[in-house]
Amino acid sequence: MSNYDFSSSRNSCACHCVKLIVSLGVIALILWLSLRTTKPKCSIGDVYVRGLDKSVNSNNNATRRDKNISFQLNVKNEMKDKSVRYDGIILNFYYGTNTSYPIGNFTFDGFKQGKDKEAFKSGMIETHNMPWDDAIKAVSNGSKAIFRVDVSSRIKYKITFWYTKKHNYFVENKVEIDDTGKSRAQQLHCCFGVFGLTLFVLSFLL
Ligand SMILES: *[C@@H]1O[C@H](CO)[C@@H](O)[C@H](O)[C@H]1NC(C)=O
Ligand SMILES: *[C@@H]1O[C@H](CO)[C@@H](O)[C@H](O)[C@H]1NC(C)=O
Ligand SMILES: *[C@@H]1O[C@H](CO)[C@@H](O)[C@H](O)[C@H]1NC(C)=O
Ligand SMILES: *[C@@H]1O[C@H](CO)[C@@H](O)[C@H](O)[C@H]1NC(C)=O
Ligand SMILES: *[C@@H]1O[C@H](CO)[C@@H](O)[C@H](O)[C@H]1NC(C)=O
C-alpha cells in the first residue's frame, strides 16, 4: 500500500515536472515568435552606366567618357510589427565579382523605416580607376560587365517600446550591365550576424 502511494506521488511529481517544462517551452516559443526579427531585404536597381551605353558616341573617347554610375538602393522591412533604425548606409562599388577593383563609394544618411515599408534611394558615384577598356570589351561582344556593390550598415529593431542592440548589416549585390548601360540586379547572398535565438536570449539581458 505504501509502496503504491509512493510510486503514485512520484508519478504525479514527474507529471508536474513535464507540465512545467512544456509550459515553459510554450512560453519560450511565444516569446521567441514575438521577438524574432527578419533582416531587411536590400537590392541595387536602376543602375545606369552611361560609359557603357553604346548609343553614346563619346564613350570611345576616354577623355570625354562619362565616368559616373547612377543607381537606386532599395531596402525593405518586411516585418509587420517591428520598425528598423538604420545608421548610415555605406555602398562600396567594385568592378568584377571580387574586391580587387574598388571604383567608388557612396553613403546614404541613416533613417528609420516603419513596419512593412519599402524605401527607394537614388544616388550617383563618379568612378575612379575603373577598367573601362575591359568593361567595354565585355559588353561589345554581347556579354555583361559585372559590378559588385557591398551594402553595409548598423541596424537595430524596435520591438514595441524598446530597441534591440545594434547589429551589423551586410549585403553583397551583383549587378550585370549590358551594352545599353543598364542592369538587372541580383543578390548574391546576405550575411547577417547570428539571429533568432541569440536575439531572444539577448533580449533578456538588455
Ligand atoms: C577625345 O576628346 C577630346 C576632347 O573632346 C579631343 O581633344 C580628342 O581629340 C578626342 N580624341 C579622339 C581619339 O577622338
Ligand atoms: C578577382 O577576379 C579577377 C577576375 O575575375 C581575378 O583575376 C583576380 O585574381 C581576383 N582576385 C582575387 C583577390 O581573388
Ligand atoms: C571606399 O571605402 C573603402 C572602405 O571603406 C576605403 O578603403 C576606400 O578608400 C574608399 N574609396 C574612396 C574612393 O573613397
Ligand atoms: C558625375 O558625378 C559627380 C559626383 O557625383 C558629379 O559632380 C558630376 O556632375 C557627375 N557628372 C555627370 C556628367 O553627371
Ligand atoms: C566576350 O569577351 C569576354 C572577355 O572580354 C569573354 O570572356 C567572353 O567569352 C566573350 N563572349 C563571347 C560571346 O564572345
pLDDT tens per residue, range 176-204: 999 999 986 444 444 444 444 455 555 55
Residue 167 corresponds to which cell in the numbers above?
547589429
Query: Is residue 57 lining ligand 1, measured as CB closer than 6 Å?
Result: no
Which bound ligand lies closest to the C-alpha atom of 129?
A: 3
Distance 130 CA to ligand 2 centre (A): 15
Closest C-alpha to ligand 1, atom 7:
63
- Distance of alpha carbon 62 from alpha carbon 57, whole angstroms: 11
Say what the pLDDT of residue 63 is. Answer: 87
- Distance of alpha carbon 192 from alpha carbon 196, whole angstroms: 11
pLDDT tens digits along 74-127: 999 999 999 999 999 999 999 999 999 999 999 999 999 999 999 999 999 999
CA dihedral of 10, 14, 15, 17, whole degrees rounded to 10: 140
- Distance of alpha carbon 52 from alpha carbon 130, whole angstroms: 12
Ligand 3 is surrounded, with C-beta below 6 A, by 92, 102, 104-105, 128
> Looking at residues 138-147, what average pLDDT do you find?
92
Distance 96 CA to ligand 5 centre (A): 14
> Looking at residues 8-25, what average pLDDT do you find?
80
Amino acid at 101: Y
Distance 203 CA to ligand 5 centre (A): 52
Query: Is residue 138 lining ligand 5, measured as CB closer than 6 Å?
Result: yes
Say what the pLDDT of residue 5 is. Answer: 55
